[in-house]
Structure 1
Amino acid sequence: MNILSKLSVLCLLMVLGCQAQHPAPSDFIPENFKEFETIYGDLNNDGLEDCVLIIKKVDTTQIVVNQYDKKVDRNRRGIIVLFKNENGYQLADQNLDCFSSENEDGGIYFPPDLWINIKDNKLHVHYGHGRYGYWDYTFRFQNANFELIGYDSSSNRGPVTLRETSINFLTKKKLIKVNTNEDSEGGDENFEETWSDIDIDHLIQLSQIKDFDVLEMYQF
């Protein structure tokens, strides 16, 4: 083997070695899944930009024709959470099919929009439902898992907030605020507050949630 060939082999081995030691976010996407959305932010308070991947199953049997005769992709979505370190990324948590597709049939209503964001080292799974309100799940990495520590929701009628709910799973407290101003037009609500205790033995883990669509908070 001549010198040029040896150098070529050496360069190839160096490249392969770097790839093995410095995994990229896309390396964690399983077979038969594709990247749907990528979010960056610090989730473990170490000053490094961690990565959240929203992935989507690739299954042609889930390409269907909806009620409007439009072909849509009903494959479910999942989440992969990666911590950044000096060698690239490492898997922190995952749930491969906990979210419905973005093309669900909302009936007489449009389906809520799923937003994932990172704020104050916490992972937020947020569903926005336009003028009808929103609901938001707050997860924090602890006990080697992302655990649900908070829930907030708002029920609206256009610009008017009808009811707000906030649950703190760490303090085991729930706050419900109900607008008692029937004539409010938005911004002039008068809320009546009710505090209560919740009964929970173990925090819900992100990896254990089968379907966010049926993750009801009314039980607390």
Structure 2
Amino acid sequence: MKIKLILFFLLCHTAIYAQPFIFPELPASGKSLASLTPSNWKVIDSVYGDLNNDNIKDMAFVVEFYRPVKESRAYGDNDTELITEVQKPRILAIYFKKSTNGAYRLATQNNNFMLRSEEGGAMGDPLRPMHIQANQLLLSFEGGGNWRWKLNYSFKYLDKDWQLVQANNLAYHSGSGEMNDKRYDFINKTRKVVTGTMNDSTLKDNIFDQPLTIKTLRTFNSFKKPWTWEIKKDEFL
């Protein structure tokens, strides 16, 4: 009888674990970060600053689920989900504040863009602290092994949507310092490439600019996660 009960509970646990994970809907408004954090989730990063150019500090934060679950994550392009991983889901939340003493109101919830703790390679968790500068939300990630990468994305609230306005993709060798840094300005449609070695004072001699041919700006809705936008053939951001 005891063995049957153990098997029953194991089967129930397996069935629950196999169910598609459902992300919670974050509160529409709240007075504090604690009041906006759903049960079984913890805040792993937060930042305050003006994001909608009204001189009032808004808030962005990232929460992580308390345990690993199965997630299908896009890999290599923006459309096809090619890999299923067991990892802790993450949510990026952005809240506007209408007045200094008022409540925070949900501006966007994104369940896909933030890299998970297992997506940084040998360097571990790729998430780096967020920043708010010039009404832009800066998201940063870093990972790799001997060859390492840094990805930075600047999103700005334009035309009632979160548009990617700047980004850079830096690759460098941890031993030799050899590096290649691609810097994108999506507003002015330019692409700058910097090559050389890390901390090289002569980098100004290794810079060239190119026009950037893109039709529309990417947003959180059209940019599923890092590494899934093929800017040009074999060049991913």
Q: TM-score, normalised by structure 2?
A: 0.65
Give me the identity figure in percent.
19
In the alignment, the residues of structure 2 paired with residue 201 and residue 185 of structure 1 have an alpha-carbon distance, to the nearest angstrom, of: 33
In the alignment, the residues of structure 2 paired with residue 163 and residue 21 of structure 1 have an alpha-carbon distance, to the nearest angstrom, of: 43
1:143 is aligned to 2:159: yes
Aligned-partner residue type, residue 49 of structure 1? K
Task: Single out whichever of 87-96 and 157-166 deviates more from structure 2.
Answer: 157-166
4+ runs of 1 displaced by more than 6 Å? none
Contact 1:160/1:189 (<8 A) preserved: no
> 2:213 aligned to 180, 199, 219, which one?
199
In the alignment, the residues of structure 2 paired with residue 99 and residue 21 of structure 1 have an alpha-carbon distance, to the nearest angstrom, of: 22
Corresponding residue of 2:193: 176
Gaps of 5+ in 2: 1-27, 71-85
Corresponding residue of 2:83: none
Q: Where in structure 2 are the equivalents of 1:29-40 lying within 5 Å?
A: 29=37, 33-40=41-48
> 1:123 aligned to 113, 137, 140, which one?
137
1:83 is aligned to 2:96: yes
Corresponding residue of 2:50: 42
Deviations 1:119-162 (A, max 9, x none): 22211111134883422111111111111011123222337352
Aligned-partner residue type, residue 136 of structure 1? N
Deviations 1:52-94 (A, max 9, x none): 11022345545xxxxxxxxxx8112120101112221111122
In the alignment, the residues of structure 2 paired with residue 105 and residue 137 of structure 1 have an alpha-carbon distance, to the nearest angstrom, of: 16
Gaps of 5+ in 1: 1-19, 63-72
- Give secondary structure in 2 for the equivalent of 1:101: coil
Contact 1:95/1:208 (<8 A) preserved: no
- Give secondary structure in 2 for the equivalent of 1:97: coil
Contact 2:151/2:170 (<8 A) preserved: yes
- Relative distance call for 1:215 and 1:163 in structure 2 (3 A) is same
Compute the displacement of 1:166 (Å).
1.0
Task: Single out whichever of 162-171 and 94-103 deviates more from structure 2.
Answer: 94-103
Aligned-partner residue type, residue 160 of structure 1? G
In the alignment, the residues of structure 1 paired with residue 49 and residue 120 of structure 2 have an alpha-carbon distance, to the nearest angstrom, of: 32
More helix by share: 1
